Amino acid sequence: MQIDIRKAQKKSMFIDDNIDNYFGYLGRSVLVNHSLLSANEKLKFQEGWTKHGFNQYVSDLIPVQRRLPDFRLPACVEQIYPNNLPTASVVIPFHNEALSTLLRTVHSILDNSPPHLLREIVLVDDCSELEINFDLESILSKMPLVKLIKTSTWTGLVGARLTGYDVTSSDVTVFLDSHCEVTTGWLEPILARLKENEKAVVTSAVDVISGDTFEYQPEPLDGFIPVGSFDWNLNYVWNRNYLSRNSTQPVRTATLLGCIIAVSNHFFDTIGRFDAGLSVWGGENLELSFKTWMCGGSVEIIPCSRIGHVFRKYLPYISGQKARDMVKKNLLRVADVWMDDYKFYYHHSINHHLTDIGDTSSMKSLRQALKCSSFQDYLQRLQPLIFIPAFCIWSGQIENHQVRLCIDTDSNNLQIDQVNINVRGCADEDPSQLWFMCERGEIRNHRGCWANYRRSDVILKPCSIRGSASQIWQYREDKSLFHSRTRKCLELTDRNRVVLSTCQLGARQVWTWSRRPAFGPIPPWRSHSYG
Ligand code: UDP
Ligand code: MN
């Protein structure tokens, strides 16, 4: 459905049962026909994207209190929870959040939480600096249970969460991002699980709210549930686990996303909360995941709890080299404290461009005092089949001999079924140019393997466990990359596309690998790079 904003009537901002056709009702998408907007509106539309990395213009059209369906599986709806569940405080940090997404988060919590279980909602303004043409304090003061506090300096998401945590007064804390919508029955299954197992750190089923249309896209959970893992770039990676339709049980996950986390305060204190040395954004979800598993807890997804999160297209408040350096510093801290010698795989992935990571001694002492287990034990229990680069033969960038370009891929594309490989200017720290040639002849990164596609294209595909012939290559003496099945060579065309072509040793078919693979630990249960 396309909406002409000029013709559309301004709809009520609040739920009125007589109105069932407001923008975004029941989680429906809102599509704005950009070409019909006035010049002024176009500007507003563009600014919304720039400021937030999501479509604020659309968010502002949707009431801050929108009705959503009950997305729970039937078995969850039938679930009966104990009377004496612990109480929860919800902590929501925000930095330059849009008013509409922030208020929608708060309204969804107030509308969908049993009052006797919700102690408070703590909003932590982390030094927002966008000019805010609204009086947040006065809007919030009319809402029950909502506290607004401010940090004195820009502390980052970990600092802001910890600031909020300090003023809570309940048994359990739920950390939520400032652009979420919780849905019917979200809280009870989380609290029930934390009551049953105080050492669980849990998240809900995380549904996508489109950053473009604000459509609420519930995970189907029809036999599968997305769970979290990671790769050696320390990216969060989605996997799929089996989930039977009538299962209400928690699902183990190696890692969780940061946007929705619930934890018993007592356990959270025991494991040292978040590492306060993590700045602005990134790494805290892996830190919490690793240490929870390694220090006697478990990380779980509660499939009966359904929460939507707006996934941004990019981080608006920090970008470019500054953002990369910050995330790298955070991840180096996490690796330093928790990953033992496996941290070398991360160091290799950033090509040993190490930076000052600050003092990690207090986190390390805590790890010792708690007698947490090794990272290898964690891998064995949660990620036994993870890619082990130490078995590979070549690694690093693959540079063409004729033109100073390196093979690259769209590293942000999470769907690896159809990712093309291409070339870009060589940038030796860029993980999207990090490739491995491994013992069976596969050329891969942390996500997938090169395979031929149609007559001459090369794409990244999920690595075949059995070693599919289409994924086998040879790096020959003459420095050509020979594809065994098609008996063709990798070539850089005049237009700088990467294709398979008849072998004829010209400089455009000559490629050099920049380095040997990481020397990192080999888990004792593994004899191949692949799982
Ligand atoms: N946040 C914050 N201070 C910061 C960075 C982020 O309070 O310096 C908040 C942000 O407003 C959001 C949460 O932390 O509520 C997580 O950040 P974000 O949503 O930008 O991360 P993403 O979900 O995009 O990875
Ligand atoms: Mn977020």
Q: CATH code at 269? A: 3.90.550.10
Q: Which two tokens stand for residue 418?
A: 């159809």
CA trace torsion 414, 416, 422, 426 (10° rounding): 50
Residue 411 lies in a domain: yes
How far apart are alpha carbons 267 and 98 in whole angstroms? 33
Tell me what pLDDT residue 132 has.
60
Nearest alpha carbon, ligand 1 atom 1: 157
User: Same domain, yes or no, for 357 and 464?
Assistant: no
Residue 404 lies in a domain: yes
How far apart are alpha carbons 36 and 6 in whole angstroms? 8
Beta strand 498-501 with 488-492 is antiparallel
User: Same domain, yes or no, for 36 and 129?
Assistant: no
How far apart are alpha carbons 318 and 333 in whole angstroms? 19
Residue 66 lies in a domain: no
Tell me what pLDDT residue 428 has.
83
The number of the ligand nearest the C-alpha atom of 178 reads 1
493: containing domain: 389-517
The number of the ligand nearest the C-alpha atom of 285 reads 1
From 51, 103, 177, the mutation candidate for ligand 1 (largest count of ligand atoms within 8 A of CB) is 177
Which residues lie near ion ligand 2 (Cβ < 5 Å)? 177, 259
Query: Is residue 178 lining ligand 1, measured as CB closer than 6 Å?
Result: yes
CB atoms within 10 A of CB 478: 11
Residue 308: its H or E element: strand 298-310
Report the sign of the C-alpha dihedral through residues 285, 286, 290, 291, in that order. Answer: negative
Closest atom of ligand 1 to CA, residue 178: 15
User: Same domain, yes or no, for 305 and 191?
Assistant: yes
- From 266, 292, 310, give the residue that closes a domain: 310
Whole-number Cα distances in Å, 125 to 56, 413, 471? 19, 32, 50
Cβ contacts of 364 within 8 Å, gap of 6 or more: 337
CB atoms within 10 A of CB 402: 13
Residue with tokens 């064995």: 380
Residue 450 lies in a domain: yes
Q: Residues in the chain, how many?
A: 531
Q: Which of 131, 70, 132 is nearest to 103 (CA)?
A: 132
Query: Is residue 126 lining ligand 1, measured as CB closer than 6 Å?
Result: yes
User: Same domain, yes or no, for 300 and 330?
Assistant: no
Q: What is the pLDDT along the chain (531 residues), one digit of tens a residue?
A: 444 444 443 443 333 444 567 999 999 999 999 999 999 999 999 999 999 999 999 999 999 999 999 999 999 999 999 999 999 999 999 999 999 999 999 999 999 999 999 999 999 999 998 766 567 888 999 999 999 999 999 999 999 999 999 999 999 999 999 999 999 999 999 999 999 999 999 999 999 999 999 999 999 999 999 999 999 999 999 999 999 878 999 999 999 999 999 999 999 999 999 999 999 999 999 999 999 999 999 999 999 999 999 999 999 999 999 999 999 999 999 999 999 999 999 999 999 999 999 999 999 999 999 999 999 999 999 999 999 999 999 999 999 999 999 999 975 555 556 688 999 999 988 889 999 999 999 999 988 999 999 889 999 998 998 889 999 999 999 999 999 999 999 999 999 999 999 999 899 999 999 988 778 999 999 999 998
Residue 436: its H or E element: strand 435-437
Tell me what pLDDT residue 430 has.
85
Cβ contacts of 256 within 8 Å, gap of 6 or more: 201, 203, 228, 285, 288, 289, 299, 301
Amino acid in the structure at residue 109: I
Which conformational region is residue 529 in: left (phi greater than 0), alpha (psi within -120 to 50 degrees), or beta? alpha
Closest atom of ligand 1 to CA, residue 309: 23
From 49, 54, 59, 95, the mutation candidate for ligand 1 (largest count of ligand atoms within 8 A of CB) is 95
Cα–chain center distance at 137: 31
Q: For the domain that residue 375 is a member of, what is the CATH number?
A: 1.10.8.460
Query: Is residue 281 lining ligand 1, measured as CB closer than 6 Å?
Result: yes
Q: Which of 255, 198, 237 is nearest to 382 (CA)?
A: 255
Ligand 1 centroid, distance to 216 Cα (angstroms) = 20
User: Same domain, yes or no, for 328 and 305?
Assistant: no
Tell me what pLDDT residue 16 has.
41
Residue 72 lies in a domain: no
User: Same domain, yes or no, for 55 and 184?
Assistant: no
3-class secondary structure, 216: strand
Ligand 2 centroid, distance to 160 Cα (angstroms) = 14
User: Same domain, yes or no, for 261 and 324?
Assistant: no
Query: Is residue 95 lining ligand 1, measured as CB closer than 6 Å?
Result: yes
- For 224-243, letters b (16+ CB in 10 Å) and e give ebbbbbbbbbbbbbeeeeeb
Tell me what pLDDT residue 129 has.
87
- From 281, 310, 339, give the residue that closes a domain: 310
How far apart are alpha carbons 358 and 336 in whole angstroms? 11
User: Same domain, yes or no, for 232 and 349?
Assistant: no
The number of the ligand nearest the C-alpha atom of 317 reads 1
CB atoms within 10 A of CB 69: 12
User: Same domain, yes or no, for 135 and 172?
Assistant: yes
Tell me what pLDDT residue 12 has.
35
Residue 469 lies in a domain: yes
Residue 182 lies in a domain: yes
- From 310, 342, 366, give the residue that closes a domain: 310
User: Same domain, yes or no, for 396 and 441?
Assistant: yes
CB atoms within 10 A of CB 70: 11
Tell me what pLDDT residue 408 has.
95
> How many structural domains is the chain composed of?
4
Closest atom of ligand 1 to CA, residue 282: 25
Tell me what pLDDT residue 149 has.
95
Outline where 305-443 has alpha helix (H): 320-338, 343-349, 361-369, 375-382
Amino acid in the structure at residue 222: D
User: Same domain, yes or no, for 182 and 137?
Assistant: yes
Query: Is residue 312 lining ligand 1, measured as CB closer than 6 Å?
Result: yes
Q: For the domain that residue 490 is a member of, what is the CATH number?
A: 2.80.10.50
Residue 356 lies in a domain: yes
Nearest alpha carbon, ligand 1 atom 8: 156
Query: Is residue 263 lining ligand 1, measured as CB closer than 6 Å?
Result: no
User: Same domain, yes or no, for 141 and 227?
Assistant: yes
